[in-house]
Amino acid sequence: MAAETTVTETTLRAGLVQLNVSDDPAANMPETARMVRAAAREGARLVVTPEVTNIMSASRSHQDAVLKPEVEDATLDHLRDVAAGTGIWLVIGSLALKEPDGDDTRFVNRQFVIAPDGTIAGRYDKIHMFDVTLGGDESYRESEAFRPGARAVTVDTPFGRLGLGICYDMRFPALWRALAEAGAGILLSPA
């Protein structure tokens, strides 16, 4: 679960959490917390969870029924407490969230960097939406459900500047170039 590398003259032990996320955020939360704590116990100082850590559902109506805005999201609150309780840097690969602004009914796919005291050190909204037609009737239109972000984000940590991305962003080199030019030494793209 943990890997070691030397970054900015400091040894960093990182934990990568792999989940089998369901369509029930409340059921996903304890397993996520358990795995984050396990990585911390194994010495990880940076732990990363996957994209949409809180829910995996193709049903827009179900998402609308269970998703919350950032300020009300129980998964975010709980994982902030876990980061503070373990003293680690935690990157929540992303959470599907509602936005309270009212005009756009799409959700956001937001990544969080949580500092060891539980504060939110950075937020990134996924920019590149996965829209594809595979043939026949099979297609995926992430842009119909999620509003894209608009800016590249870096976050300073004791082991280097993080450059944030999520999954499909990996296919767009301009984002990664911008992050590198902004001084990111560690590029993250949880999927």
- For the ranges 94-108, 129-143, 145-159, the one whose mean pLDDT is highest: 145-159
pLDDT(1) > 60: no
Mind giving me the DSSP string for 77-133? HHHHHHHHHHT-EEEEEEEEEB-TTSS---BEEEEEEE-TTS-EEEEEE--S--EEE
Q: Within a 10 A sphere around the Cβ of 11, how many other Cβ atoms?
A: 10
pLDDT digits (tens, 9 = 90+) for 55-89: 999 888 999 999 999 999 999 999 999 999 999 99
Active-site amino acid positions? 51, 126, 167
pTM for the model stands at 0.91
More confident call, 162 vs 140: 162
To which H or E segment does residue 147 belong? none
pLDDT digits (tens, 9 = 90+) for 8-31: 446 899 999 999 999 999 999 999
Report which DSSP code applies to 146. B
- In this prediction, residue 46 has a pLDDT band, given cuts at 50, 70 and 90, of very high
pLDDT value of position 133: 87
